[in-house]
Amino acid sequence: MRSLRLIPLGLWALLLLLGASVQAGEAKGSDTKGKFFFKKSCKACHMDGGSAKALTPLSKTQAQWRKFFDAGKHKGEALSPKLGTPAQLLDIKTFLINHASDSPQPETCGG
């Protein structure tokens, strides 16, 4: 127990922040790749003037994004392969959850 006291306070804060963005048992994709694939696969339709409602990570909470991906459906069809490979969809999911409206780092994904 004594060794835990030797960890600097700043490192503890970083560990807590990192832990907040990862849910236990949840597979983790690449946040950076997810942003790229979101812009490539989703933004064409989900933007102002697009064929579907404008959508950004802020459009939903983390729980709502998890529920969407857990359902595995987009307009009644399977998410994969229409919107990307399973790895690409995991990256998109990671990006959207990490930057959802109730996340520690909300993001609009402009552009």
The yes/no answer on whether domain 28-111 falls in CATH 1.10.760 is: yes
Q: Where are the domains of the chain?
A: 28-111
- The answer to whether residue 70 scores a pLDDT higher than 90 is yes
Compute the average pLDDT of residues 80-90: 90
27 in Cβ contact with 90 (< 8 Å): yes
CA distance 72 to 50: 22
CA distance 68 to 46: 15
Length of the chain: 111
* Of the candidate ranges 4-13, 25-34, 35-44, the one whose mean pLDDT is the lowest: 4-13
Query: Which single residue is written with the structure tokens 């950076």?
Result: 32
Q: What is the pTM (predicted TM-score) of this model?
A: 0.73
